[in-house]
Every structure is written in C-alpha cells, then in structure tokens.
C-alpha cells in the first residue's frame, strides 16, 4: 500500500470484506470516480473525513439531518433512551407519542405503522394497497426511487441510475409484470393507463417532489390528475414522502400541493438519523393491517425506543416557529447564489429549491422528467463535484441526486459555498 491517505487505505481495506467497500451503493463514488470519504464525525453543517479534512455537508445523511448533525437535544434524548434499554419487542408510550405527532402534522393521516426503513414503508404500503383493493397492478414513474423492494425496482432512480442499470438483476420478470412504468409529469400517459387497465390498478405510487433523479417537482396538474383518476377508478394514491416529507414543508408535499393521498410513506427526517420510517392512511384503510386485518407486516426493531427518541426530538425541533421559512430561505440562497456564480462564468447551469431540498443542473432549465434530467451535462457535474470536494464542500456524489440543507447551514456557510463555487466555475 503506497498511499498515505487514510481514506484511500480504508477504501482498499473495505473492499476486501464488503462489496464495493460500501453498505449502500451510491456512497462508493462510482458515478463521479475517486475515493469515497470515510467519515469520522459530524457536527452542525459539517463532517470530517478520515484524513481530518472538514466538509460543508449538503447530503445530511441523504435527508435525515434536517436540524444539523449531532444536535445536542437529539443526542441527549438518544443517550437518555439508551440508558433505559435498547429494544424491548413490546410496545412503549414513546411509539404512541410518535404516531400522534405524525398524524397531527401530516394532513391525510389518521393512523400510522412504524417501521425501520423507507423501503419497508413503501413495500408495506404497496402490499396494503393490493390487499385493500384486491387488485394486482401498480403504477410507478420512471426515475422515482421507492426503496429496493422487488416490484418497485423497475426503472428506478438514485443509485440504480449511477450504475446505468435502472432495473435490478435478480428480480424475476413475474414479480414486475404487474408494475406499469410511466413518464413523470405526463398527464396523458396516466389517463391512457387508467383507460386501459383502470379495473386492475391497485395503486399509483409517486414521489410528489422527486429527489432520486436529481430534484424534479411534480406539476400541480399532474398530481391532481393522479388524485382524480385514482378516485374515479377505485385505485389508491400513494405519496412516497420518505424524502420530501417534513422536508419541503412541515406537512410534506401533500400540504404544499393541497392534495391528499390515500396512503403515505415516510422515513428519513422522522428518525432524526436513526432508523425510523412509517406508512399510514385513514383508519379505515389501516384496519386492513395485521393484527386487525389480513395484510401481514411486522418488524423486530419497529418502533425501537432509542430511534423513536431521536425522531420525536427532531419532530419537536422542526415545529419551532419560523423553522421552514428559514430552511427554505437557506436552500434558495444557495440555489440563487450558485446560479449567479455560474452565469458570471458563462456556464450553462441552473438550480432549484423546494423547502430544504435543492437540485443542481448543468443545463439551461430545470428538468421535468427523467429523460430531460438525463440530458444534462454529467461530465461537467463530475468535474464540479470533485473541485468542490477539494474546496471542502460535499455535494451528493452523483448528478442524479437532490441535495439537502439543515437548520445549521447559516448564511455564512452558504456564502462560503458560493465563493468556492465561483472559483470552481471559473475553471470549468
Ligand atoms: N423512497 C424514497 C423517495 C427514497 O428517497 C428512499 C431512499 O432514499 C426510499 C424510499 C428508501 O428508503 P430507505 O433507504 O430508508 O430504505
């Protein structure tokens, strides 16, 4: 081993015992090339790698770190919960409080079931939709990622795009023959799908603000068409708000757009950095779930007391007055500042933000769907990414991912980022 970089050494060592050296594919930097940074600690808007270099972090653990890393109140709640025991496999009052809080905040929810990952949340919502309707077909949209359950791994976004393999190997054709994949933001296609298969469609699942093919906002007309068609044909509308829930607004995308889905999947922010996710809907629909109804779903660590403590504390912090106004202003300051810096350098670039989420595009206008997103200049993004990394700014290591700001990203931190980008754009 000739390298003196601790990151390089760790990466080499990791690859011996873990496929690709990582436990979730996009962390491996395959899209942008180079060595992934091994993180040793994080605080506020920053994290530090194994070589001791500090980065301004715009991933926030891919969404959860909305109040900033290692927030003292969240850490304290976790420490206190841990001293009372790590897991009981029996119900706790904390789980009731968490369910009450989520139901209070998300407009369409009357009941929720807690799980441990977004994948479990969407997978279970899908099973519920099929169980409740007695139908098999599901509709998803190209570039939307809903976790790695078999029937949803068709033309999905996020890490699958990095590998140019949007449909996973190992998923039998039989498992996905009921999955219809349509274009995002295309009203005509979904009308045609319902005209042809309306009787067979159990549900439509959508990221109402897509964050796994970079950031792409649904048009209000598209989401309204989904709502109307599902109602008309007796199908269920599932909003996958694992990423955009508690991110684009306190009540999620459904509050932002004023459209209520039948089922909602949540994750990321509600765990505050520990594994909590949830799915829910009306009491009537949720009564299909075991042990009340016939749709089975379970989890050894579901509603884990330590994870719930982190999640509940985070949910309290984000309800502080002005939280989302500040978060949105922060993301907008970043998007506007980067766009202006690129324009000064004559680089075709734009950026967009919704709440605490943002997208960076090496194109003249923000994309509206998967095909438009893929037309962006990825080579230029990769050069930009590495140059920013050298400057101490950590954006998502792929052009297909949204970015996130936290409440700890001050104006000074954003301005430092923009100043670094100005230097980088000048060299592109
Ligand atoms: N749904 C969406 C919209 C996501 O962004 C993700 C993860 O990024 C998931 C589902 C899967 O969540 P998890 O990685 O917690 O399984």
Q: What is the ipTM of this complex?
A: 0.99
Protein fold of 6-66+321-425:
3.90.1150
Q: Which residues of 291-321 are buried (b: 16+ CB within 10 A; e: fewer)?
A: eeeebebebebbbbbbbbbbbbbbbebbeee
Kindly give the distance from the C-alpha atom of residue 119 to the centroid of ligand 1, in angstroms, as a whole number.
Answer: 6
Confidence band (pLDDT; 50, 70, 90) for 3?
Answer: confident
Check: CB of residue 382 under 8 Å from CB of residue 399: yes
Residue of minimum CA distance from atom 12 in ligand 1:
118
pLDDT over 90 (residue 283): yes
Q: What is the pLDDT of residue 166?
A: 60
Cβ < 6 A, ligand 1 pocket = 62, 117-119, 122, 145-147, 158, 207, 211-212, 240, 242-243, 267, 277
pLDDT at 108 over 80: yes
Q: Which residue has the tokens 């980065």?
A: 55
Ligand 1 pocket mutation, candidates 24, 116, 119, 266, criterion most atoms within 8 A of CB:
119
Residue with CA at minimum distance from ligand 1 atom 14: 118
pLDDT tens digits, residue range 9-58? Answer: 999 999 999 999 999 999 999 999 999 999 999 999 999 999 999 999 99
Q: Determine how β-strand 111-115 pairs with β-strand 137-141.
A: unpaired
DSSP-assigned states of every residue in 21-41: G-SSGGGG-TTT-SPPPPEEE
336 is catalytic: no
Give pLDDT tens digits for 324-356: 999 999 999 999 999 999 999 999 999 999 999
The question of whether 184 is a catalytic residue gets the answer no
Residue to substitute in 146, 149, 269, 278 for testing ligand 1 pocket (most ligand atoms within 8 angstroms of CB): 146
Q: What is the architecture, at CATH level 2, of domain 72-317? A: 3-Layer(aba) Sandwich (3.40)
Mean pLDDT of the chain: 95
Catalytic annotation, pick one of 8, 49, 57, 240: 240
* Cα dist from 235 to 56, 111, 112, 155, 228, whole Å: 44, 19, 20, 22, 10
CA of 395 to the centre of ligand 1 (A): 18
State the distance from the centre of ligand 1 to the C-alpha of 122, rounded, in angstroms: 8
At residue 238, φ and ψ (nearest 5 deg) are -110, 120
Distance 145 CA to ligand 1 centre (A): 7
Q: Three-state DSSP class for 10? A: helix
The model's pLDDT over 374-395, given as tens digits with 9 standing for 90+, comes to: 998 889 999 999 999 999 999 9
- Residue ranges per structural domain of the chain: 6-66+321-425, 72-317
Write down the residue that tokens 């090496």 correspond to: 362
The tens digit of pLDDT for each residue in 117-168 reads 999 999 999 999 999 999 999 999 999 999 999 888 877 766 655 555 567 8
- Residue carrying the six token digits 């190209």: 142
238: three-class secondary structure by DSSP: strand
What is the tens place of the pLDDT at every residue in 218-246?
A: 999 999 999 999 999 999 999 999 999 99
240 is catalytic: yes
Above pLDDT 90, what percent of the chain?
91
């Amino acid at each position: 081993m000739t390298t003196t970089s601790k990151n390089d050494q760790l990466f080499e060592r990791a690859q011996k015992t873990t496929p690709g050296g990582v436990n979730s594919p996009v962390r491996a930097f395959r899209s942008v090339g180079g060595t992934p940074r091994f993180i040793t600690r994080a605080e506020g808007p920053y994290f530090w790698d194994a070589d001791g270099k500090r980065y301004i972090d715009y991933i926030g653990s891919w969404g959860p770190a909305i109040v900033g890393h290692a927030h003292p109140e969240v850490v304290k709640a976790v420490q206190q919960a841990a001293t009372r025991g790590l897991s009981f496999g029996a119900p706790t009052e904390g789980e009731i409080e968490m369910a009450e809080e989520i139901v209070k905040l998300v407009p369409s929810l009357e009941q929720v079931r807690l799980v441990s990952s977004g994948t479990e949340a969407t997978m279970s919502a899908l099973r519920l939709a099929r169980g409740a309707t007695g139908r098999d077909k599901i509709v998803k949209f190209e570039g939307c990622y809903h976790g790695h359950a078999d029937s949803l791994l068709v033309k999905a976004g996020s890490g699958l795009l990095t590998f140019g393999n949007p449909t996973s190997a190992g998923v039998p054709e039989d498992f996905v023959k009921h999955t219809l994949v349509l274009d995002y933001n295309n009203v005509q296609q979904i009308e045609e799908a319902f005209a042809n298969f309306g009787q067979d469609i159990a549900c439509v699942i959508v990221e109402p603000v897509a964050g796994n093919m970079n950031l792409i906002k649904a048009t209000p007309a598209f989401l309204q068409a989904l709502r109307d068609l599902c109602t008309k044909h007796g199908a269920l509308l599932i909003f996958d708000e694992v990423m955009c829930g508690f991110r684009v607004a306190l009540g999620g995308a459904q509050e932002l757009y004023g459209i209520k889905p039948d089922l909602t999947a949540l994750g990321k922010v509600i765990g505050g950095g520990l594994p909590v996710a949830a799915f829910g809907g009306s009491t009537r629909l949720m009564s299909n779930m075991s042990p009340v109804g016939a749709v089975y779903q379970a989890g050894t660590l579901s509603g884990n007391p330590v994870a719930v403590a982190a999640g509940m504390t985070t949910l309290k912090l984000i309800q502080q007055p002005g939280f989302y106004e500040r978060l949105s202003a922060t993301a907008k300051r970043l998007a506007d500042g980067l766009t202006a810096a690129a324009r000064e350098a004559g680089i075709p670039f734009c950026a967009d933000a919704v709440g605490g989420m943002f997208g960076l595009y090496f194109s003249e206008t923000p994309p509206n769907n998967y095909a438009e997103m893929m037309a962006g200049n990825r080579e230029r993004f990769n050069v930009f990414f590495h140059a920013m990394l050298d400057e101490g700014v950590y954006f998502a290591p792929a052009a297909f991912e949204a970015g996130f700001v936290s409440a700890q990203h001050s104006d000074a931190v954003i301005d430092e980022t923009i100043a670094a980008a100005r230097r980088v754009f000048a060299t592109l």
